[in-house]
Amino acid sequence: MTAGRFAPSPTGELHVGNLRTAIVAWLFARSTGRQFLLRVEDLDRVRAGAEEAQLAELTAVGLTWDGEVTRQSDRQAHYDDAVTRLRRADHLFECFCTRRDIAEAASAPHVLPGHYPGTCRNLSEAEREAARRVRPAALRLRTDVGQYEIRDVLHGGYTGAVDDFVVVRNDGVPAYNLAVVVDDAQQGIDQVVRGDDLLSSAPRQAYLGSLLGLPPVEYAHVPLALNPERRRLAKRDGAVTLEALAAEGWEAAAVRSLILRSLGLPDTSLDAALGAFDPFRLPREPWIVDPSHLSSTDAATVPPNR
């Protein structure tokens, strides 16, 4: 089985940018004969009722998925197995740094901005033992490369820096970069379509996958939806969720039509959009969403589903 996926975090309602990415991921998967899976990434912050709301929102815009919804919180055994394999291969080391420690050390001239400076990489056993009495350790990947190249359908070859990144937090929770790599491989997901804000993390994840002996995935990082100030779209921008837009007179089908038009696709239905879908004709610039222009009058001009 090969598959694509959409993997939201249950922290709140999905906004139109999230729904747009979900629709694009669905189009990529269906147009290439892949299954389309839905995974809830709930290892971190979770808001009560958010998962149910998000599933309802995806259904409302017409998306369907294959099989049962999976949740990262049910998959700890898979992460533990990956950590064990990395440990045995000496690919992990304990890190006792606080965020402040890292921020101060990372100001050194030889350290790339935002990257780990290697403080705990070569501690002696005596130093690690002393540090364990002060705070619990996170586990970082002991990388042997400074950068790694991935192939992206929309961006072509992309080379990004790879540092000794965290794979298990100091509270024992698997970090995003570990969980997503393990999940995708275990679920047969070989096509990862997501927002281009995550492009820079792809080389880290691909490198980790190579250390675990996992098959490579096909990436497609798509432009985000931004507000008029060209910042990431958020609920604070106004009526940008299905619920808020419904209060302005928008039906879910009309919101879907708006999203499809923003992609340059037929806006009458998902099936019509799928028939015309060509990834190389997708817009390469962000979608600027101005909630002040999304009125009930606008909604009335959007063709209904048919």
Residues belonging to the binding site for Zn(2+) are 95, 97, 116, 120
Burial readout 92-109 (b: 16 or more C-beta within 10 A, e: otherwise) = bbbbbbeeeebeeebeee
Annotated binding site: 5-9, 41, 95, 97, 116, 120, 176, 194, 235
Terminal C-alpha separation, the chain:
32
Distance, in Å, from the CA atom of 151 to the CA atom of 167, rounded to the nearest integer, reads: 23
Known binding site for L-glutamate: residues?
A: 5-9, 41, 176, 194
Binding-site entries for ATP: 235
**12 exposure class (CB count in 10 Å sphere: 0-12, 13-18, 19+):** middle
Picking from 60, 58, 59, 30, the residue whose alpha carbon sits closest to that of residue 271 is: 30
Number of neighbours of residue 177 by Cβ within 10 angstroms: 17
Q: How far apart are CA 242 and CA 252, in angstroms?
A: 7
